[in-house]
Amino acid sequence: METTELDRLRQAYKVAVDQWVATIREEEELATPDHSMVQMERWDAASFREQDAQEKAQAAKDGYKDALRKINYSF
């Protein structure tokens, strides 16, 4: 595997983590003094987006780590 492929995988991981962090901040912003049902539903929806972003970040991390293992441990 070439270094450029590792760089691509690492960059994909970093982008996924940045997107995950953004969704965490979005969810946090929705924890407001507005105690309405509508606001609670928005907060819940943001939580689902955060979970999806976390899964994408984990998948990107796993792909990068798998590539590193292949190079470093030959498996």
Residue 27 phi/psi, 5-degree rounding, is -65, -45
Instruction: State the pLDDT at residue 38.
Output: 95
Tokens read off for 34: 């507005």
Contact 30, 43 (CB under 8 A): yes
Q: Which residues contact 15 (CB under 8 A, 6 or more apart)?
A: 60
Contact 9, 63 (CB under 8 A): yes
pLDDT digits (tens, 9 = 90+) for 3-20: 999 999 999 999 999 999
Read off the pTM. Answer: 0.86
62, pLDDT greater than 80: yes
75, pLDDT greater than 80: no
| Spatial separation of the C-alpha atoms in residues 7 and 19, rounded to whole Å | 18
